[in-house]
Amino acid sequence: MVIMRPLAVLRHDLPASLVVFLVAVPLSLGIALASGAPVAAGLVAAVVGGVVAGALGGSVLQVSGPAAGLTVVMAETIQTFGWAVTCAITVAAGALQILLGLSRIARAALAISPAIVHGMLAGIGVTIVLGQLHVILGGKAQSSAVENIAELPGQIVAHHDSAALIGVLTIVILLLWPKLPAAVRKVPGPLAAIAVATVVSVVAGMTLPRVELPGDLLDIHLVPQLPGSWGGFALAVVTIALIASVESLLSAVAVDRLHTGPRADLNRELVGQGAANMLSGAVGGLPVTGVIVRSSTNVAAGAKTRVSAVLHGVWVLLFVVLLAGLIQSIPLAALAGLLVHVGAKLVNPGHMRTVLAHGDLPVYLLTLGGVVVFDLLTGVLAGIGLALVLMLRRTLWSGIHVETEGDSRRVVVEGVLTFLSVPRLSKVLGAIPAGVPVRLELVVDYLDHAAFESLTTWQQAHERAGGTVDVDEVGHPWFGEGKAGRPTRSRLAASRAVPRWLAPWSEWQAVEGIPAQQTRRGATEFHRRAAPLLRDTLSGLADGQRPRTLFITCGDSRIVPNLITTSGPGDLFTIRNIGNLVPPGQADPSMNASIEYAVGVLGIEEIVVCGHSGCGAMAALAEGPPPGPLAVWLRHAEPSAHRTGSATLDGAVPDREGDRLALHNVLQQLEHLREYPSVASAEAAGRVQLTGMYFAVGTAQVYLFDGAERTFRPAGASVGVPGG
């Protein structure tokens, strides 16, 4: 097995590496062209990225090489410092990446908003398209995107030579390639487009600019040179290191979503990328990053280990050495067409829809515009700045509005209430007429000292003027704790409040008087908060109910069927009585009608009988009920008291007799249900399932009866045969 494993890996990785190699060669040449670097620099980066980053990186299936995401900043760097100093910048950027990886802060890069990353890529794409369109049209790319835009109309109306034909042909092939048969698409589209365009240009004898390579590609010297000015040099190092790191890390995370193998070690990935950049810069190559296009191709081709990425770098090296003459036949216009296609794909409409849905479109557009109009670093920094502003606004936002209810006012404050909201809060509260009753509802995640003082001062002034202020806090009592001299200092220190729809009235209502006031206030709470959330659900149930479960349980106030089953309106057809009884012999007309209606008309699929701990009916049955209506009703439960054997909770017998009897009672009522002809026939036909349930009030634990083990087991445990 030890010998076969490498062979099995190579069976997947060898063909995958060949596919990635075929994609990498034209892309590497095109990226070098767009960056203004020597064309050979793209191939050098592809070799080093594949071998070094592939072997040392933390992402098993990620493929590294020169990336379109760095073309803009590299073009600016080369124009500013020259190629030799740019190589030194690449070496220093790689060293910085290694330090970042060793400091184990790689995951911090993931804190950058996706809107900024997508905006950055879109800006790069727009810049590439604007520049390479000039090359396709037979001209030369200008030094900035703005100049490219200004010169583009004249370039379009000018005379077009064979370069335009080759560029357009390349784009057409790339657009049509995904629509061709699968057998044809086994050849990567970029390779096919460049190959066809090159063959057409050679056969037609076209005279147009082509790729130029140095005479001896293996004659590599140490290219880097130190700069004359260190300030700009340092800024360029940091810029390239950060952009390359972010792009590599985001690509690694994206690749992890494409396969089920080992997850990426992001810190190790940075170290591997840094080592590759140091070597690439030292031997005259472009900066290296993880590239999502090649990586996704690698996964789709069936790669299993990092061997595929390493081999792809080896194939690039052999191709360059053995077929340098073939590379020199490639027209620059064909590479420009490939880059226009790649750049256009970086402007992803799906990303725009996503950031729009999340409210981050301004960040995306500002980043895109900053990259296109100024430079990549300016665009990214502008995007980060706007993202921080929006984050602060969302974090510190508070919604404040007033509703008039007769002669009173209802003031609702939502969100985070801090000193930033005090001016608006004071304006809203100051507009409330003196002497009117006010209900102040605080639905806040945090209340700072300034906001507390503002509310307290206003409340005291309003009450001195003859008005009343009823403060209702939904959630943690920030204001109440402050008035009690126990101010909560942070969100972490705030206790988690029980939602009102779950908490007993006594925990959130501060109303004295008759219970009707509690009911009225609870109904008002439902109307204001729950009804808007349930309206769509209930509107679908307005014309009839379609429950799937008949739920028979005790009338005990501690048992809330929808709560313990996590169900909602329209889910349960519920019957409640003292002791969750199903009178034997169909002795109770009300129960008869309910069961027949549930099974025969509603077509329910399950009948649940739910007993519970601390049941007063079972305690009375065990002790002997006093004469009266209760005793008459509990006669229906006498068969439960006469059952033999032991009923257990997960194999244990309850200590209290009433609880033991409650378990027997559930099983007995299931037997009574089977005396109903409609239930018996439906169960026999497999249309209805009978389920025994028990709720332990003190531990809030639901138990289901396991018919195979003859015990009630905790919900969530594997139950063999349900029912009784």
Question: Rounded to an integer, what distance in angstroms lies between the CA atom of residue 149 and that of residue 640?
Answer: 88
Q: Which of 256, 294, 351, 554 is labelled catalytic?
A: 554
Helices marked H in 285-348: 292-300, 307-322, 324-327, 332-346
Nearest to 664 by CA among 648, 650, 679, 687: 648
Catalytic-residue membership of 312: no
DSSP character string of 550-580 = EEEEE--TT--HHHHTT--TTTEEEEEETT-
- In degrees, to the nearest 5, what angle opens at C-alpha 297 toward C-alphas 293 and 298? 115
Catalytic-residue membership of 554: yes
Dihedral sign for Cα 426, 432, 434, 440, please.
negative
Contact yes or no for 387/415 (Cβ under 8 A): no
Report the DSSP pairing between strands 689-696 and 701-706. antiparallel
Question: Rounded to an integer, what distance in angstroms lies between the CA atom of residue 621 and that of residue 23?
Answer: 81
Q: Which of 13, 360, 448, 556 is labelled catalytic?
A: 556
Catalytic-residue membership of 612: yes
Contact yes or no for 336/135 (Cβ under 8 A): yes
Question: Rounded to an integer, what distance in angstroms lies between the CA atom of residue 371 and that of residue 382?
Answer: 9
Nearest to 155 by CA among 136, 183, 179, 180: 136
Q: Which of 13, 615, 636, 706 is labelled catalytic?
A: 615
The answer for 340, left when phi > 0, alpha when psi is -120 to 50, beta otherwise, is: alpha
Contact yes or no for 614/697 (Cβ under 8 A): yes
Q: Which of 393, 558, 650, 687 is labelled catalytic?
A: 558
Dihedral sign for Cα 298, 304, 310, 315, please.
negative
Rg of the Cα atoms in the chain? 37
The answer for 581, left when phi > 0, alpha when psi is -120 to 50, beta otherwise, is: beta
Question: Rounded to an integer, what distance in angstroms lies between the CA atom of residue 362 and that of residue 348?
Answer: 16
DSSP character string of 390-443 = HHHHHHH-EEEEEEEETTEEEEEEEEEE-GGGHHHHHHHHHTSPTT-EEEEEEE
Report helix, strand or coil for 215.
Answer: coil
Kindly state the tokens that stand for 129: 């398209």
Which amino acid is it at 213? L
Q: Which of 134, 351, 612, 636 is labelled catalytic?
A: 612
> Cβ neighbours of residue 385 under 8 Å, at least 6 residues apart?
none
Quick one: CA torsion of 298, 299, 304, 305, rounded to 10 degrees? 50
Dihedral sign for Cα 506, 511, 515, 521, please.
negative
Residues labelled as active-site residues = 554, 556, 558, 612, 615
